[in-house]
Structure 1
């Protein structure tokens, strides 16, 4: 499994790196791998990702929600709880305001996450290259979910270096991809810590992150949480 993931990462890195940036990206991979091995498995942080804060907020709010032992099952009730918790998080309040949630879209994610993810990315305004890059990353996330977190962490930060160094992606495309990858990285860490065993089976949170990231980082966090919590509830 480890060798397979490494091979898939190489393919992913090439798809997200252009000819002009490839040499610098490979150099960055080596430096980041060497520097991060000491911390891999200890925490999910990657300060090289400018949108890392989205992942941190995601886990902080998820902790707060699960600690409340709420029994709500409906989209509107869970959304209201997330809104209440969000008001107490200073990091989230420092981000641009998140957009109102379309409950029908969230339910669609819960019902058919893979199909919705494909449609969300295909219908976005992003370039073909950035769409392919994000799609391939999200496909690999399902494999990382079943591997050790150390390997997943190394793979994700290498991917993020490739995206950051890609000269063909616009600043907005990088923001969308790196926000989605940050939430994925932190979510996988949360699952690895076994803070909530059902959370590791949830695909909805990653799809919600992508959908929300098309608007802004705060929206990525709230939609990821809502879709993830609802998806987890359906497995209980």
Structure 2
């Protein structure tokens, strides 16, 4: 994986050198393997958005343990809205169409979503690299994938070219990716996370972190339940 992910990151860094008029002081903390217990082996406390991934896992576990059995997209959306409470928003037909293209055409959907976003070009390059490499990450042992994602987060936090909004979106996506890849979450291999699920989460993250979490839950659960979008 290192040969796939790191060159892309280096290219993104070069592209970002002059990409933003808004600079921020980088967090001096260096990302690393942080307090990974058996229960929270996906945790990286140095990601300021780590709680988004943790909350996602808690909501997913609640779904699994409550006995929901939706047979339609509307049923999935309703179940997630019930579980998430005030953190959830209503899903309209356009969003349902977005889920469909995210799953079936993840690459072109990501390109379109990022093109219409307000992210800096550097942040778009980072997200494109990360999502492209997710197909490889999901095939690795979790410990290896965890290390690669944390290294990616380290690069993000040390960049002086990314805006606060850029970092928020990136950290949200990487947090959700880490927790969704943790095998202790879902021993049933039918619960594997697809590239399309991460594209959906990325689309939601462009609005806010709660929508990213909601989009990932809906996308992943609908796919697991074999529900056609």
Same fold judged by TM-score > 0.5?
A: yes
Indicate yes or no: 2:202 matched with 1:210: yes
Residue 4 (structure 2) aligns with: 8
Cα offsets for 1:22-46 (capped at 9, x unmatched): xx99x936xx2xx54x838761000
8 A contact 2:109–2:199 mirrored in 1:
yes
Q: Over residues 145-173 of structure 1, what are the superposed CA-to-partner deviations in whole Å (9 max), with x where a residue is unaligned? A: 11111111011011001111111110001
SS of 1:28 mapped into structure 2: coil
Displacement after TM superposition at 1:232 (Å):
2.1
In structure 1, the residue matched to 2:211 is 219
Q: Which runs of 5+ in 1 are unaligned?
A: 88-92
Correspondence 1:1-236 to 2 at 5 A? 5-17=1-13, 28=30, 32=32, 35-36=33-34, 39=36, 43-87=41-85, 97-101=87-91, 102-189=95-182, 191=183, 193-234=185-226
Distance 1:48 1:226, change over 3 A: same
Q: CA deviation at 1:9?
A: 3.3
Q: Which whole-Å CA distance do the structure 1 matches of 2:168 and 2:90 have between them? A: 20
* Cα pair distance change 1:99/1:201, threshold 3 Å: closer
Higher helix share: 1
CA contact (8 A) 1:205 1:229 kept: no
Conserved in 1, the CA contact under 8 Å of 2:131 and 2:195?
Answer: no
CA contact (8 A) 1:211 1:220 kept: yes
CA distance in 1, matches of 2:115, 2:121: 9
Q: Distance in 2 between matches of 1:119 and 1:39?
A: 36
Distance 1:112 1:168, change over 3 A: same
CA distance, structure 1, for counterparts of residue 172 and residue 127 of structure 2: 11
- Shift in Å at residue 210 of structure 1? 0.2
Aligned-residue offset at 1:11: 1.5
Residue 202 of structure 1 contacts residue 232 of structure 1 at CA under 8 Å; is this kept in 2?
no
> How far did residue 12 of structure 1 move?
3.5
TM-score, normalised by the number of residues in structure 1: 0.80
CA distance in 2 between counterparts of 1:12 and 1:127 reads 17
On the 8 A contact 1:54/1:221 being kept in 2, the answer is yes
Contact between 2:119 and 2:166, CA under 8 Å: does it hold in 1?
A: yes
Give 1:192 shift: 5.6
TM-score (norm 2): 0.82
Residues 68-99 of structure 1, C-alpha deviations (whole Å, 9 max, x = no match): 23221211111111111112xxxxx5xxx554
Partner Cα separation in structure 2 for residue 66 and residue 113 of structure 1 = 26
